[in-house]
Structure 1
Amino acid sequence: MIIKEIPSRWIQREGLRLDVGPYKTGAIEAKYKLESLTVTKNPVVNVTKDGIKGIIHAGRLKRVWVNEPDHGYPFLTTTNIHISSLEKIRYIANSIVAGKQNLLVKRDWILITRSGTIGRLAYCRPDMDDFACTEDVMRVVADESKIDSGYLYAFLSSTYGVQQIIAGTYGAIIQHIEPEHVKGIPVPRFATEKESIIGKKIKLAAQKRADSSLLMKKAGGIINDKFSFPHKLALSHRMFTHSSASSRLVQKRMDSTYHDDIAQKSDSLIEQTGTRETLGQLGVKALERNRMKQLFAEQEYGVPFYTSGEIFRADVTPERYLLKKALKDSLDWQTLEQDILIARSGQVGGIIGTGVWADSRFNNTCVSPHVLRLRCENSEVDPGYLYAFLCCTDVGYRQLIRGAAGSSVPFLSVTDILSIKLPRLPTEKELEIGEMVREAGKLAAQAQYIEKEAIKMVEVAIEAAAPKH
């Protein structure tokens, strides 16, 4: 139970609003602090004449999905506006977007989730330009001649901005916010030079994330080109076709999806490369955490913990910390830089079989038992090259997900993954591809650091401008 005392004048000033949320979270306190600043303040929407072009609510739309990129637009949901890789998102039909330009988002727009988990922000990166986006995301479009969109994003993402956004939440079961709840938020204005520095940092972070994603895509593309792999082996995660398989192949596995046409095509493509050695034979280790009771603690007593959904975020910031004592002295839980993290459970076509490169942000952290860690330490394989094959080519992805077993919540086994054969290139080429993956990881980590630095600058500036009591 959370107990908090508040002055009765706050309730009176808020029109006798009695729901506890805004008072408990500190939204009201943040609002009054913003009002007390000794700097110029503009409400977000009034800045329509003084900085904001508009706040867009796209309106409800019908979902018609297509498999071919030529027939649709990549579609951003409330979840994947925050993910690092946009390679596997779905496409919505051109006919749905036609005549509804509000469905598309542009680079440098500010995206705010407005339904469900509300008030989560994302800055529209260059690689998101002209993507379609769900109506559950509001678009805030800044007039760059009046206010820097990067600075505005940094303010809205700060403690003071987020608190103001979520203060307008309504709804008992599925919560919502609307443009009118955001438009009156006072935006503190500082010296143009300071706002420009903050804005440039946000835009630099967005560019680094786009560059990181492009490098990963390029690394996978080199492997595809070298082995003449198709860039897309199948239009969807499972093709409903018929196929035959040798009785020798079904002695260990009899589930049809393990032997379907796409699985056999991926096997054939790998056989054509002449490879014979499996990941296990090459010395790759697959580490899995035993299931245990998860006890969480304050940061000083815990280890950063990530679920199988959280590892895919562009901003990898721990929300919970696993109690150190519960982990004892075993290092089986420990994630190290250059590990390959594979989501090992979930629905086929979702996150299962999808991987994340463990850059410096993941070092000495702990992941859920639903995440498998592949480690190339003391093996014959460059970890970056292995990641590029498994996670940046469709052939590698098909090899991973073909092993999914289970009717309700499919999962991947260590045995199946270590039995995957790895196509080999000359050592220098594998190192070159591996370096591209490592550089992409560095860019992603730098982007997060730079963005947080910009947001911190806003918070420090607000604290400095607040009257001292």
Structure 2
Amino acid sequence: MVDNLARKLDNAPKANIEISEAPVKWCSVSLAEMVERGKRLEASVFDVEAWQAWDLINNNKYPITSLGGVNGLTTSYTCGRFKRIWVKKSEYPIYQPSSIVDIKPTPDGYISKKTNVNIDSLRVHKGQILLTCSGTIGKTSLVSQTLDNAIFSHDLLRIDCKNPVDIGYIYTYLKSKIGSQILITNKYGAVITHIESEHLDTVPIPNAPDAIKSKINDLIIQSYALRDESNALIDQAQALLVKELNLPPISEIKVDTLDKSKSIQAFNVKLSEMAGRADASYHVPIVDAIVDILKKNAAEVTTVGDERISSDIILPGRFKRVYVEEGYGVTFFSGKNISELDPSDKRYLSFAQHDKKIKDELTIKQNMILVTCSGTIGNTVLVPKHWDNWAMTHDIIRLVPTSDLYGYLYIWLQSEYCNAIIQSYAYGSVVQHIEKEHIKSCPVPILKNQDVQKQINDLALQANEKRYQAYLLEQEALKVLDEEVIYAE
């Protein structure tokens, strides 16, 4: 019986499995370098990509200079550590370093003027290159109109270029794969866990002709000008929405049900209004106050789930991810990068392992609205053209709006008023979550003036188009850097 089974297995047809080979990563290591690294033979000790990046730059056709130092292209500084005094509201909003890569950064909070630091020394200025230097290091941005004079914490390197034509060129170099690889490693591949100004003294950069630098600089300056314009359009759309709905600043919305005579905030909730939720955050009075204002000033208050508003709401299930090298899978990124123009930690999800899930649940399409639903709740973005057919994590709710309302719906969902409503849906003590049913029940005001509603919609779409054009310009700058500098022969 066992023999018969064995014969059947031997005669079974063999599956013809083809495996696409990823490029082999390799480098040469001298005996002296191996001894210097503690006589270690493991490949992990020698960062292959960093090694090859150093070799590529050192053999560049143009003279090599350094980013920093006396003879370098830049000067840079960080600010001393300080203890922040947080307040509810002040004239000093402060941003976290990680937000520099967001298209439209929002402050983390407000610090008091009594904070023991020279607040003006924390400000960044137009034309500076910003670089995160602690925690997640190497994130790069350029200060344009959006961030000019903004206050940041100490964990940010402020880089000033000695020659204005170098601004866009150095920014692009730091954004490039080769430049960023060299920045975060030393010559022997050991990862730098914290970047100081002096580290830039040893970072090599090809000193390309001014004509090439100028070409790259112009592309980057135009790219950031378009981002500023897109942010101005979003602000204009928000102002129209607030004016049409007669919404006061959220801090000034009166909450009649709140008993202010008590030392703690307390309010009553009817049993019929519990909706199966006993957590106080679900029943905060400001949500009802916002909805009351909407009902008074809108033609109608419906919900996201209304078929006139959205045709589908998708929340993928959890799954174990299989990542592959670039070129062997679909572009994939997480919710923490949802606010970036070009997500900084893109990975590539295997087609072979996740083909059906990618097609049915994970793929995002242009003009979808994405809402973060785990950890940080309620961050919202309108999918730009260059994200079309990319994939995103399961911790994102995908909202498919009707064809003529996606711009307007995006402006409403990312407003501070709707965000307050979305935050009330959150559940979980450590990591908070919301479900697609919560977004489905979220109120949406239909304006009395349809012309204003269309204007808001069009402004949002124009802003998204400008962001797409800004992306294309930055990609063109990276292409020029690669073809005419880094890989030039």
**Aligned 8 A contact 2:302 2:446 in 1:** no
Aligned to 1:402: 424
Pick one of 23, 27, 30 that aligns with 2:53: 30
Secondary structure of residue in 1 paired with 2:81: coil
Tell me, yes or no, if structure 1 residue 74 matches structure 2 residue 101: no
Aligned to 1:462: 485
What's the offset of the Cα at 1:22? 8.4
Secondary structure of residue in 2 paired with 1:375: strand
What's the offset of the Cα at 1:105? 1.2
How many residues are aligned here?
Answer: 448
**Aligned 8 A contact 1:303 1:322 in 2:** yes
What's the offset of the Cα at 1:102? 3.4
Q: Letter of the aligned partner of 2:368 in structure 1?
A: D
What's the offset of the Cα at 1:3? 7.2
Pick one of 7, 26, 39 that aligns with 2:62: 39
What's the offset of the Cα at 1:90? 2.3
Give the whole-Å Cα distance in 1 for the aligned partners of 2:239 and 2:47. 50
Tell me, yes or no, if structure 1 residue 448 matches structure 2 residue 468: no
Give the whole-Å Cα distance in 1 for the aligned partners of 2:125 and 2:369. 32
Aligned to 1:11: 33
Tell me, yes or no, if structure 1 residue 292 matches structure 2 residue 312: no
**Aligned 8 A contact 1:233 1:394 in 2:** no
My pick for the range that moved more, 132-141 or 82-91, is: 82-91
Tell me, yes or no, if structure 1 residue 210 matches structure 2 residue 233: no
Q: Letter of the aligned partner of 2:156 in structure 1?
A: V
What's the offset of the Cα at 1:151? 1.4
Residue ranges of structure 2 left out of the alignment (5+ in a row) = 1-23, 254-259
Tell me, yes or no, if structure 1 residue 62 matches structure 2 residue 83: yes
Q: Letter of the aligned partner of 2:396 in structure 1?
A: V
Pick one of 323, 328, 343 that aligns with 2:356: 328
Tell me, yes or no, if structure 1 residue 354 matches structure 2 residue 374: no
My pick for the range that moved more, 248-257 or 306-315, is: 248-257
What's the offset of the Cα at 1:344? 0.9
Aligned to 1:305: 332
Cα shift readout 1:77-100 (whole Å, capped 9, x = no counterpart) = 232111122235323333437535
CA 1:25 to 1:218, structure 2 compared with 1: closer, same or farther past 3 Å?
farther
| Correspondences of 1:413-452 after superposition (within 5 Å) | 413-425=435-447, 426-452=449-475
Residue ranges of structure 1 left out of the alignment (5+ in a row) = none
Cα shift readout 1:169-222 (whole Å, capped 9, x = no counterpart) = 999999212222212323322222221111111111122222222222221121
Give the whole-Å Cα distance in 1 for the aligned partners of 2:252 and 2:438. 21
CA 1:371 to 1:465, structure 2 compared with 1: closer, same or farther past 3 Å?
closer
Secondary structure of residue in 1 paired with 2:413: helix
| Correspondences of 1:64-463 after superposition (within 5 Å) | 64-70=85-91, 72-75=92-95, 77-87=96-106, 89-96=108-115, 98-99=117-118, 101-144=120-163, 147-168=165-186, 175-233=193-251, 241-274=265-298, 275-283=300-308, 284=310, 285-316=312-343, 319-325=346-352, 326-328=354-356, 331-346=360-375, 351-377=376-402, 382-391=405-414, 393-425=415-447, 426-463=449-486
**Aligned 8 A contact 1:221 1:231 in 2:** no
Identity, % of aligned pairs?
24
**Aligned 8 A contact 1:67 1:91 in 2:** yes
Give the whole-Å Cα distance in 2 for the aligned partners of 1:169 and 1:120. 20
Give the whole-Å Cα distance in 2 for the aligned partners of 1:414 and 1:11. 55
Give the whole-Å Cα distance in 1 for the aligned partners of 2:437 and 2:177. 46
TM value normalised by structure 1: 0.86
Secondary structure of residue in 2 paired with 1:296: coil
Please provide the CA RMSD for this pair. 3.1
TM value normalised by structure 2: 0.82
Give the whole-Å Cα distance in 1 for the aligned partners of 2:465 and 2:373. 25
Secondary structure of residue in 2 paired with 1:422: strand
What's the offset of the Cα at 1:286? 1.6
CA 1:144 to 1:96, structure 2 compared with 1: closer, same or farther past 3 Å?
farther
CA 1:420 to 1:226, structure 2 compared with 1: closer, same or farther past 3 Å?
same
Secondary structure of residue in 2 paired with 1:309: helix
Give the whole-Å Cα distance in 1 for the aligned partners of 2:118 and 2:66. 31
Q: Letter of the aligned partner of 1:254 in structure 2?
A: A
**Aligned 8 A contact 2:237 2:459 in 1:** yes
CA 1:22 to 1:66, structure 2 compared with 1: closer, same or farther past 3 Å?
farther
Q: Letter of the aligned partner of 1:272 in structure 2?
A: K
**Aligned 8 A contact 1:241 1:261 in 2:** no
Cα shift readout 1:389-409 (whole Å, capped 9, x = no counterpart) = 110x22111121111122232
What's the offset of the Cα at 1:464? 5.3
Give the whole-Å Cα distance in 2 for the aligned partners of 1:364 and 1:3. 29
Give the whole-Å Cα distance in 2 for the aligned partners of 1:164 and 1:400. 42
Give the whole-Å Cα distance in 2 for the aligned partners of 1:461 and 1:113. 27
CA 1:74 to 1:318, structure 2 compared with 1: closer, same or farther past 3 Å?
closer
CA 1:299 to 1:43, structure 2 compared with 1: closer, same or farther past 3 Å?
closer
Give the whole-Å Cα distance in 2 for the aligned partners of 1:67 and 1:151. 40
Secondary structure of residue in 2 paired with 1:303: strand
Give the whole-Å Cα distance in 2 for the aligned partners of 1:169 and 1:57. 24
Cα shift readout 1:277-298 (whole Å, capped 9, x = no counterpart) = 2222344232111222322234
Give the whole-Å Cα distance in 2 for the aligned partners of 1:16 and 1:50. 28
Q: Letter of the aligned partner of 1:194 in structure 2?
A: I
What's the offset of the Cα at 1:267? 2.1
Secondary structure of residue in 1 paired with 2:391: strand
